[in-house]
Amino acid sequence: MTFRPAAAVIVAAWALAAGCGGGPPERADVLGDLADEVIIPAYERLAASAEALAGAAAELCSTLEPGDLAAARRALEAARADWSFSEAMWVGPVMERRSWAVIDWPVSAEEIEDLIADAAVEIDYDRLARRIGADQRGLGAVDYLLGPPGAAAVLDELADERRCAYLAGVAEVIAAEAALLPADWTADFESGGPYRAVFADPDGSGLDAVVNDAVFLLESITDLELGAALGEMGREADPSRIAEGPAGLGAVDLAGRLEGLRAVLIGTDETPGGLSPLLGDDLAGSLAARFAAAATAVAAIEPPLLDAVAASPQTVSAARAAIKDLQITVATEVVSQLGVTIGFSDADGDTGA
């Protein structure tokens, strides 16, 4: 075998550049860090808060004490906040399992009351987990059954055994579903190994998925919800597009969704990072300013959100404008910087007309 200096130099140069180059971070590494530092902890927090909610609901049903009602409401708020935070991470298992149909879906009070009133129907875990509609369960159902803050009559209503069993059962179903999600990411998902590996796979579409989710989430907030409720997306205002329960947590949800999105894109104060290593300092800084402006605008909304839409539409509109500003930045600069494909046809393209 003949030693070829030129070939050796080329191989060495390639190895140097590939192995120890000081260039930008690998996308797979960034996605792996995002999963480890943001997404998995978020699902773990959700699982814990959902478990706490189930415990609080069970405790409330066993005591029917005002203190336990207040504790259950606090547990609901915590679970909602964690769920809202995770919305910017709705990729993979949460979508495959359709967990949102179990954990949080706009509810129908009428359907819930019909089920409770129908004594022929046994209220047990199996029925609540598998045999009722998405509009009869989830955090929205818990919110409905716990009623608005300060409503003491709720305790009288919950004295109805079926009603409280419904409350505790729905909370238990939520906790069971939420517990699956961190395990999907860290242990195994559909026999394909931990989803974390799929998400961070260099050949995978984790980046596309998470950025598409961000774009869709912002569009949902600005246009489908706030815009529609304010009447800015059509000739008629449609407040029903905001799904807010008696607890009046719409603005809290909004803030949680934005915090989750911030964590994904540029990280939080506690866990800086997110996708920012791929975005560069300028764009990350621009996003941080927009997130701050949006958070300030949302904080100015006096809850409940639905009341604010009616009583102080200019405040809600200002929040929408701030979030729209963020939406434009993500849909243009972030998408462009990452070369992400947004909901396209797969027809051949030569990229640039």
| 25 DSSP assignment | P
Pick from 3, 21, 153, 269: which binds other proteins (CB under 8 A)?
Answer: 21
Question: Residue 63 or residue 332: which is nearer to other proteins going by CB?
Answer: 332
233 binds other proteins (CB under 8 A): yes
- Core vs surface per residue 290-322: b (16+ CB within 10 A) or e: bbebbbebbeebeebbbebbeeebebbbbbbeb
Q: Rounded distance, CA 181 to CA 218, Å?
A: 23
202 binds other proteins (CB under 8 A): yes
Question: Which parts of 244-303 interact with other proteins (CB under 8 A)?
Answer: 278, 282-283, 286
Torsion of CA 315, 316, 320, 321, to 10 degrees: -20
| 270 DSSP assignment | S
Q: Least CB distance from residue 241 to other proteins, whole Å?
A: 14
Distance of CA 246 to the CA centre of its chain: 20
Of the listed pieces 77-85, 108-116, 146-154, 334-342, which binds other proteins according to CB under 8 A? 334-342
8 binds other proteins (CB under 8 A): no
Of the listed pieces 84-92, 134-142, 163-171, 322-330, which binds other proteins according to CB under 8 A? 322-330
187 binds other proteins (CB under 8 A): no
Q: Least CB distance from residue 146 to other proteins, whole Å?
A: 35
152 binds other proteins (CB under 8 A): no
DSSP string computed for 135-169: GGSSHHHHHHHH-STT-THHHHHHTSHHHHHHHHH
9 binds other proteins (CB under 8 A): no
Q: Are 107 and 136 in contact (CB under 8 A)?
A: yes
Residue position matching structure tokens 């238990």: 172
Pick from 157, 223, 302, 307: which binds other proteins (CB under 8 A)?
Answer: 223
Q: Are 212 and 265 in contact (CB under 8 A)?
A: no
- Site of interaction with other proteins (CB under 8 A): 14, 17-19, 21, 23-24, 26-28, 201-204, 207, 223, 227, 231-235, 278, 282-283, 286, 327-329, 331-333, 335-340, 342-353
